[in-house]
Structure 1
């Protein structure tokens, strides 16, 4: 009898273990498929946008009047922004691609400033026409290389998740058409004559100046493992997978992943100072049992533990069983929007399941704040009287060219819609207007 009981218990245990293993496998497969679909979409979007970029730059070379040239320049600027967004969604963090990203940023900066100036009084110079011609030729080379990679992706059914694994293993020896293609693009843009953009350098924050205030002593892999174990309260014997960013990255980082009980974790930490850039916890979430307000308190508690004291919540929103909160760091009561941090909280028990301070570490720097030329009341005169203003504050934001501007941020409603309006605190110009959808935007 005892034997049958033992067999039954063991059988049940085997079935439960098998089911758990199958469930873990299917969840992992689902995440891989989802990641691959996102990578494929971003890559094909990038190829398409660079194709359009080439066509648009070619069109601008044939135009002369302000009425036709300015809109084309704005189109080029928008396409470079889209291409940069596409690149940021690809798993290239371990592959040097900074020259190409800087090249795209330079195109955007150049075309934007040409587009917004008075071309009647200040038409394109011969030097600027030469720049456009070289940009046209460079865009042609880049699009051809991307088209070659795209053909290989289609014909050989290449997968981006395999690229990610190869980069994580630092496997550069095995043939990989995607890595080879992007390396060729990076090599080409590395040879582009930066002198064509030197006169813009004083007006724009260089991409290479990003992350310049990440400070502290370098940490090694052992210290990274200790930090991860402490961050997530893990057992010392847990198996961690660590990868270090490749040469040429804007910021040297360690990427770590682990599985513990019913959750999978991913974290990125700077080599300099051991700062946590971001992390994500994947686990099955139960029905929400805490309010968005209580979840916000948990997010604020985490930020204080991470050393962020002077913060203001920009917005909060709820997605299924999670709350998403975006915070801005303040400087003498000025809200600094570029130094932004996002926290994701599980609404079943208040656990932090997502954290991202990459924008903060990328943009943070010492700022010399000057008193605005306009008073709050004077700035408000530039806002439509139809808007019911509920709150306002001084804020530093980035304009469309990436330059920081001191503004008055006005928050209000009109016909049941919520708006954010940013007025230049020195000139009264409208810098940015945003219509918000389905988010809670009450400012403290």
Structure 2
């Protein structure tokens, strides 16, 4: 009887192994099906936002009244930024979609700049209207390319979950597949769209500026070490460099890994080749029911930045949507807000996780400044304000302008009627440099 015991045990073990393997196989397939559903939703949303952006832009161009143009341009800004947000959550290698992201970002920026001019009572000139028309054409082109890409994916039986998995194993194969679709065609055709130079909102970086980031050049091995050291608490595994990000102000390594928990959620990073700094971090996990308020989210973001070595950062403006808050931080020196040195932190409101980080503005612009004493006093600057406004708050701030310059200003938060504005008076010559409308919304404050 004993001679049968070992074969029986082995047979049972073999059956158990088979059952376990089958279970794991189904688990893996279920997970990739779940990923596919999530990415499909993001892709549909992306197409919708791009289509809405080009429709809103068309409405703005045919609007006869300034207030109608402002409304439609504001809608364009929202749709462009939401499209950019959805695009970054898709399983495409970051360097491949850089041009598309940049286009969406500048579409939103330029529309914002035209809103600011219209609010000042300035009629857009022929050149500016021509730029809007050209941007509309490119938005329409992108919309068509995305629809064709969606159709190709559907008819080709491509599973987004598998696409993400292939991206981990073989980035070259993923890029070959992308080239068969049409998104890259848009990037090739949009290379020559006009560079948009303007006094954009402070939350965006100056265009075509040489980064001030310094440090030694790092290799791929060092980039992975930086991730492990900076995010050790998240226990990220299977970290690998899957590409390089070029044709950008700060060249970087594109790194992916898997975070323990959250069903093995994939996370991604960009690490600068110079100095080994974290340019951005993205954890596109599903966000649960909100349990944190905005103050708690800001506190989580502040602690995160302090732990990462970013000191003297103060929160400025926030936006909350889909269970997460995006918090803008600006550098503060001697009680002076330095708006160009910007860091954005995205906080999940279900548990306070940091699910997004972007430091490019800070790394490009931050340096030791010799901030001279203002030539005029705050009281003298107040005299330059309209007599019809009520001043609620005043402070010094450094703001960016076109031409890669910075100006020290008095920032006045004022109320006129039922609306709040930010008025910037040059601290040296007393000229009004900028007026921004603060639109208080349920999801945050929109600065226009």
Compute the TM-score of the two structures, normalised by the length of structure 1: 0.64
Contact 2:73 2:112 in 1 (8 A): yes
- For the pair 1:268 / 2:273, whether they are aligned, the reply is no
- Equivalent runs, 1:236-251 vs 2, <5 Å: 238-251=237-250
Instruction: Report the equivalent of 1:215.
Output: 214
Contact 2:60 2:72 in 1 (8 A): yes
Shift of 1:396: 3.8
Cα distance in 2 for partners of 1:323, 1:138 equals: 29
Instruction: Report the equivalent of 1:425.
Output: 425
Instruction: Report the equivalent of 1:253.
Output: 252
Residue 339 of structure 1, aligned match among 338, 341, 352: 341
SS at match of 1:174: helix
Contact 1:408 1:425 in 2 (8 A): yes
Give CA deviations for 1:294-313 in whole Å, capped at 9, x if unaligned: 88666545433433222224
Residue 361 of structure 1, aligned match among 360, 363, 366: 363
SS at match of 2:238: coil
Instruction: Report the equivalent of 1:63.
Output: none
Shift of 1:366: 6.8
Contact 1:317 1:325 in 2 (8 A): yes
Contact 1:76 1:111 in 2 (8 A): no
Cα distance in 2 for partners of 1:369, 1:403 equals: 14
Change (3 A) 1:167 1:377: farther
SS at match of 1:190: coil
- For the pair 1:184 / 2:161, whether they are aligned, the reply is no
Residue 395 of structure 1, aligned match among 394, 397, 400: 397
Mean Cα displacement is larger for which, 372-381 or 37-46?
372-381
- Aligned residue pairs, count: 416
Instruction: Report the equivalent of 1:36.
Output: 40
Instruction: Report the equivalent of 2:313.
Output: 311
Cα distance in 1 for partners of 2:105, 2:321 equals: 34
Cα distance in 2 for partners of 1:373, 1:354 equals: 40
Contact 2:210 2:364 in 1 (8 A): yes
Give CA deviations for 1:106-144 in whole Å, capped at 9, x if unaligned: 964885687567779xx95xxx46x75586467446624
Residue 45 of structure 1, aligned match among 33, 44, 49: 49
Cα distance in 2 for partners of 1:285, 1:113 equals: 34
Give CA deviations for 1:88-108 in whole Å, capped at 9, x if unaligned: 541473225177468747964
Cα distance in 2 for partners of 1:97, 1:434 equals: 30
Cα distance in 2 for partners of 1:341, 1:281 equals: 17
Residue 435 of structure 1, aligned match among 416, 430, 440: 440
Shift of 1:81: 3.6
Cα distance in 2 for partners of 1:160, 1:404 equals: 48
- Equivalent runs, 1:116-127 vs 2, <5 Å: 124=125
Cα distance in 2 for partners of 1:37, 1:233 equals: 31
- Equivalent runs, 1:137-152 vs 2, <5 Å: 139-140=136-137, 143-144=140-141, 146-152=143-149
Cα distance in 2 for partners of 1:142, 1:288 equals: 34
Change (3 A) 1:94 1:233: same
Instruction: Report the equivalent of 1:64.
Output: none
Cα distance in 1 for partners of 2:53, 2:363 equals: 29
Shift of 1:270: 1.7
Contact 1:218 1:271 in 2 (8 A): yes
Unpaired runs of 5+ residues, structure 1, are 61-67
Change (3 A) 1:112 1:335: same
Cα distance in 2 for partners of 1:87, 1:21 equals: 34
SS at match of 1:215: coil
Instruction: Report the equivalent of 1:97.
Output: 99
Cα distance in 1 for partners of 2:53, 2:324 equals: 33
Cα distance in 1 for partners of 2:401, 2:313 equals: 22
Shift of 1:224: 1.1
Cα distance in 1 for partners of 2:323, 2:198 equals: 45
Instruction: Report the equivalent of 1:225.
Output: 224
Cα distance in 1 for partners of 2:290, 2:113 equals: 48
Contact 2:330 2:338 in 1 (8 A): yes
SS at match of 1:308: coil
Cα distance in 2 for partners of 1:405, 1:348 equals: 39
Shift of 1:275: 0.6
Cα distance in 2 for partners of 1:116, 1:315 equals: 21
Contact 1:73 1:114 in 2 (8 A): no
Cα distance in 2 for partners of 1:287, 1:132 equals: 43
Mean Cα displacement is larger for which, 99-108 or 422-431?
99-108
Let me know the Cα RMSD of the aligned residues. 5.9
